[in-house]
Structure 1
Amino acid sequence: MGDAQAVFADVAGAVLDDGALTHLGAPLREQRLLAEGRAVAPLGDRTVLTVDGADRLTWLDSLTSQALAALAPGESTELLVLDPHGHVEYAASVVDDGERTWLIVDRAAAAGLLAWLTRMRFRLRVDPQDAGATHAVVGGTAAAVADLPALALWTDPWPGVSAGGWGYAAAETHAAVGRDWSEVVVPAETLATLAARAAERPLAGTLAAEALRVAAWRPRAVTEADGRTLPHEVDWMRTAVHLAKGCYRGQETVAKVHNLGHPPRRLVLLHLDGSDALLPAPGDEVRAGENAVGTVTSAARHYEDGPIALALVRRGVPADAALQVVTGDGAVSATAQAIVPADAGATANVPRLPRLGRRASA
Structure 2
Amino acid sequence: MPAADESDPSEPSLPVASVARRLGVAPATLRTWDRRYGLGPSHHVGGRHRRYGPRDIGRLELMQQALLRGTSTAEAARYALERMPKAPEMSAALRIDTPDGELLVPSRPARLPPPPSTEQLLAEAGDPGQSRLARRLSTAALALDSRAVERTLAEAIERFGVLSAWSGVLQPVLTALADRWRGSGNSAGAEVEYLLADAVLAALIRATPVLDEPRNVRPVLLSSVPEERDGLALYALAAELACRGVGTQLFATPLPAEVLAVAVRRAAPAAVVLWARRSGAAHPRLFSRVMRGRQRSRLFACGPGWDAAGLPAKVELLDDLAAAVDRVEYVLLGPLGPRD
Which bin holds the TM-score, normalised by the shorter protein? under 0.3
Select the structure with the greater relative contact order (CA < 8 A; seq sep ≥ 6): 1
| Bigger fraction of residues in strand | 1
Report the TM-score when normalising by structure 1: 0.23
